[in-house]
Amino acid sequence: MENPMLRRIGIVVSIVSGLVLILGVSLSGALADAQLSLRDTDDDQAMTTASTASLHNPTFDNHDWYEFNERYGNYLPGTWLPDDDGNTHDNIPLASRQDWRIWFLDGTDVLEADPEATYAQSVEGVQVRAYGDSWNSGHHFGGLYQVIYNTTPCLEYEFKMNAQARYEPPHDQIPDPFPTDWVNTLRVGIDRTGWHLATNDPAVHGDFPATTKWGESQKHYWEYGELSATAEAWADEVAVFTYADTDGGRASRVLWDTGSFAEVTPAQIYDPADYTAPNGIYSLSSSVSGSSALITWSTSQEAISQVYYRKAGSSSAPPTETYTYTVYLPLVVSNTPWQNTALNKVPTSSHSFTLSGLDAGMTYEYIVVSKAYVSGEACSIWVKKGEFTTP
């Protein structure tokens, strides 16, 4: 008669053996996938870069300042601002000029700007404060801005600027008690379509447009702190703004210094796990030659683009050998991780990518992705899936 205890041991051994087999195959597959994901999959295709968009005179240290009223008119005299790089002869046309300009909210104090050397981070910063002689009452609401050209729609950009707030009335105007929290907010922003003020009217009437994206609001008293904002460009130009909202009239000084502007688009613009259905992609085709595949497609308008690809998934059958009271657990080999090409940052309507270093005799699935600004409040993403088999 069979010993029940030995039968239980046999069952346990069967299950454990199956688990060991499953784990062994899964781990070996995962290791192979990891090795594949570390391979340079795009050796033959260099990163295609976009045209360069840059912040001009970002540190205010080129010793070239212009008087706002003299250049643009319709403003109080005495406001001096950092000029565009290389504009010492005032010969850069308005359509491409990247000088710093001033803005203020209509109905609040008209703001004055001039060089700041005492508390500059390097050579000079910009001091902004209210005109007039009302030292301890008033509303400082405004800042600086610059239009930046040659941005690429649907790439992401980051604008940074350092700011500090100071409360410095004359000795005979020092209030009692002395204010300790006169700053409502300091922040910076990016208008994604390049919206900006008319040069002869630096007052913002009402709210900023919805296309302006603001960074986090902060308060920096008596020393510089960094402010930043990140946004997608929706046109071939954007406008960057500094923004201060403080109380205290002319005693309230806001200092701006050391800005920067950079393209910071993520390496992957799409998550393949989000794929549901194709849209916006035309004439998708693949051509395989040896260990390479050429993927081409078209879009209705110019767009940046990228390809995601991986080996197609498969399932393995459970082992055929049986044991008494054997419990079968499904054995599934996971799909390899998605890999991606470099992002083509130059918008085009005809897209072409070469996938190289492919394994022989394998079926690959791929998703082509294009991204363009059409209208609305975000760039549109168009996708389509395809498949090919290597010889």
Assess whether pLDDT exceeds 70 at residue 271: yes
pLDDT at 46 over 50: no
CATH topology of domain 4-38+269-389: Immunoglobulin-like (2.60.40)
Q: CA-CA-CA-CA torsion for 190, 195, 201, 203, nearest 10 degrees? A: -40
With contact defined as beta carbons under 8 Å apart, do 326 and 18 qualify? yes
Segment 23-29 shows an average pLDDT of: 38
CB 124 within 8 A of CB 115: yes
Q: Note the pLDDT of residue 376.
A: 80
CATH number corresponding to 65-263: 2.60.120.260
Is 43 a residue whose pLDDT tops 60? no
Taking alpha carbons only, the member of 305, 215, 205 closest to residue 265 is: 305
According to the model, what pLDDT value does residue 49 have?
61
pLDDT of residue 22: 36
Mean pLDDT, rounded, for 14-37: 38
More confident residue, 261 or 11: 261
Task: Find the mean pLDDT for residues 100-117.
Answer: 98
Q: Where are the domains of the chain?
A: 4-38+269-389, 65-263
Residues 315-323, mean pLDDT to the nearest whole number: 46
Residue 295: pLDDT over 60: yes
pLDDT band for position 48 (cuts 50, 70, 90):
low
pLDDT at residue number 313: 74
Question: Whole-number mean pLDDT of the chain?
Answer: 86
pLDDT at 23 over 50: no
> What is the pLDDT averaged over residues 222-230?
99
Checking if the pLDDT of 256 tops 90, the result is yes
Would you say residue 316 has pLDDT above 50? no
CA-CA distance, 59 to 200, in Å (whole number)? Answer: 25
Determine the pLDDT at residue 105. 98
Q: Which residue has the higher pLDDT, 321 or 135?
A: 135
Predicted TM-score (pTM) of the model is 0.82
pLDDT band at 24 (very low <50, low <70, confident <90, very high): very low
Q: Is 2 a residue whose pLDDT tops 90?
A: no
- Is the pLDDT at 42 greater than 50? The verdict is no
Distance CA 350, CA 284 (A): 10
The band of 302, judged by pLDDT with boundaries at 50, 70 and 90, is: very high
pLDDT of residue 8: 38
> Whose structure tokens read 């990247």?
98
Residue 320 reports pLDDT greater than 90 = no
| Whole-number pLDDT of residue 3 | 44
| Residue with tokens 């030292």, as numbered in its chain | 135
Tokens found for residue 117: 């050397």
Residues 313, 127: Cα–Cα separation, whole Å: 62
Q: Which two tokens stand for residue 238?
A: 């954007």
| pLDDT value of residue 235 | 96
Residue 48, Cβ density class (10 Å: 0-12 exposed, 13-18 middle, ≥19 buried)? middle
pLDDT at 241: 99
200 pLDDT above the threshold of 70: yes
Least confident of 48-52, 184-188, 217-221, 235-239: 48-52
- 39: confidence class by pLDDT, cuts 50, 70, 90: very low
Number of Cβ atoms within 10 Å of the Cβ of 4:
8
pLDDT tier at 324, thresholds 50, 70, 90: low
